[in-house]
Structure 1
């Protein structure tokens, strides 16, 4: 990547936001192009300033973070969203990464991690999974749900999965529904895609 990376900051705490502006201003690779203090402002920031990376606080006034991520990604598909939050929550992390965030950092992370997350997001399509998070992602699904998902990824039908795992076809359907709920997926293919993005499934396990 050539030139500086344009960054937007959306956080409702003025002091924290100003600290981020000062931090990023010390790095010649980065340029802060706009700030916002709520979800509506984040949308306007993206619409007006077109940052490549948006630092997004989870607990801002307005719409939930997942909805804001979906909206800004529809508005600017190449936008990378780095989530900043006080919540060390594996399920929330999984939900926001599945919604399209490129990284999930707690506000207790060192400043070097914030810069590294921005640089990673700007140069790759793969989400950045924090150290130790892979174990948390695996724990998102039960052992049986994971087994069902692996077979779904191999294009097995519900009947074939039931025969393979020695469970009833109705049980397979129930597991598949639970998988969709936990991953925020709308279909079998979407579940595999989101599980692959989260590192629950290896990339080669993806359906077409």
Structure 2
């Protein structure tokens, strides 16, 4: 699903009384929105997802997450830990987990498995972060917000985007995030992880 045209197509599913069983592949934000819209229209909807949790690609396991019961309370069904390994559009059947005996029939199929943004052919774009990249920054703490402390922070920030600078000083908290640094005027240095 992507954009206005996809939304118009979904509307045809809602308006078509012959469409009863809808399969949604992908339990991310858009997939869950599709499930909700179809259930509200009186359709029988099942969402299938490779991950063990609904919204699992977006929320950590310890974070309050959608549960299958949340979707089932709306009238939908959830098949987590389910890999769709085949789609037979002519027969309107999904093959699940590589097992030809484990099949799932549908009237209409909604693919909501995410998208990869287009990469522009601009100089330096090859250095842009890719999905899944872990970006790290050098963390620098400066004790003392005197003129020298600010100068040191600005020097680091203008040299490279690879620095995360925090300045500690007694007093109230003030943020200089627009400059790329945080200034704590707290009277004591908060404990930091090494």
| Fold equivalence (TM over 0.5) | no
Instruction: Output the TM-score relative to the length of structure 1.
Output: 0.29
- Please state which structure has a larger fraction of its residues in helix: 1
Q: Which one has the bigger strand percentage?
A: 2
Structure number with bigger Rg: 2
